[in-house]
Amino acid sequence: MAHHVTLFRIWNIGKSTQNTGEHKALGIRLKSYINIFGRIAGLAFGFLVILSVSRLMLVGVYWDRVAPTEGLGFILLQGVRFDIILIGMLFAPVLLMKPWFHTLALLRQISMWLFPVYLGLVTSIAFFIEATTTSFIAEYGNRPNYLFVEYLEFPKEVFSMLAGSHLLELIALPIPCIPSCLVRY
């Protein structure tokens, strides 16, 4: 029996007259292939929930700006749409590389520290951007956009400004990184 699962064999599980032991083994292998994405999917769902709660809080804080537009539903739906796009971009490298990193023992060992570190950094950066959104809106009138990224060309000025006005966010930056780095994906 081959050591890989073919689409033909999976498709014909119900049609075959072979013994059920082989079918159970095939089902277990298929389940293990699907399970390699379980924790990543859980983290992505958690991201979506946190980003949605953050958006609801921002709508509450800036309700005086939202109410005259009568576009609360549009704001929330477009926000979820953008959050899904953002999550897809942030998690795509891990989701695309994860199956390849399960092929060899050495690659599995590398992925045991690489994926948690990457996802921890991504979590921390997303947390920081969400934490600074309220003050960015107060200063510039909209959510962090290209200006937020363009100012990163001047790291000395950016970090001195952040240390002065966003010290709490900078101190709290590593907090979301810790749980993400401890979980094995």
pLDDT of 173 reads 66
Q: Look-up: residue for tokens 């072979």?
A: 18
Q: Which helix (H) or strand (E) holds 97?
A: helix 72-101
Cα–chain center distance at 49: 11
Nearest 10 degrees: Cα torsion 171, 177, 178, 184:
180
List the chain pLDDT tens, one digit each, 185 residues: 444 444 444 444 444 445 556 666 666 666 766 677 878 888 889 889 989 998 999 899 889 988 888 888 998 999 999 999 999 999 999 988 988 887 888 988 888 888 888 988 888 888 878 877 887 788 778 877 777 778 778 778 777 777 777 677 677 766 766 666 666 65
Assigned token pair, 76 = 């929330």
Give the helix, strand, coil percentages of the chain, each rounded to 5: 80, 0, 20
